[in-house]
């Protein structure tokens, strides 16, 4: 397979996926927070776990975004090494 095609596949795959991963991270984080608040602690700790869950969810979203950026920059480095 040609390099251009491989690059295109990588871009399509990862950047087409990152948007929904971001949203899913936030939903899972906040859902876990709400679950802890309402079900485990019966609303006694509300709204703190919800907020922490939301914060961790957003952080996880950014983490998966940075993972993809690092991975793509690593790919670029590898390619330039091969070319030299």
Residues near other proteins (CB under 8 A): 1, 6, 9-10, 12-14, 16-17, 20-21, 23-25, 27-29, 32, 56-57, 59-61, 63-64, 67
Least distance (Å) from other proteins to the CB of residue 38?
A: 18
Least distance (Å) from other proteins to the CB of residue 15?
A: 10
Least distance (Å) from other proteins to the CB of residue 70?
A: 10
Please give the Cα distance from 40 to 56 (Å, whole number).
18
Question: What's CA 60's distance to the chain center, in Å?
Answer: 5
In this complex, which beta carbon is closest to other proteins, that of residue 50 or of residue 57?
57
Q: 17: Cβ–Cβ under 8 A, 6 or more apart, which residues? A: none
C-alpha to C-alpha distances, 21 to 13, 16, 24, 74, nearest whole angstrom:
12, 10, 5, 21
In this complex, which beta carbon is closest to other proteins, that of residue 25 or of residue 50?
25
């Amino acid at each position: 397979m040609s390099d251009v095609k491989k690059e295109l596949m990588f871009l399509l795959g990862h950047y087409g996926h990152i948007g929904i991963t971001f949203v899913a991270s936030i939903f899972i984080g906040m859902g876990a927070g709400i679950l802890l608040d309402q079900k485990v602690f019966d609303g006694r700790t509300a709204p703190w776990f919800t907020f922490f869950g939301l914060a961790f969810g957003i952080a996880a979203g950014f983490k998966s975004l940075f993972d993809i950026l690092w991975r793509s920059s690593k790919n670029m480095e590898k390619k330039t090494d091969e070319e030299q």
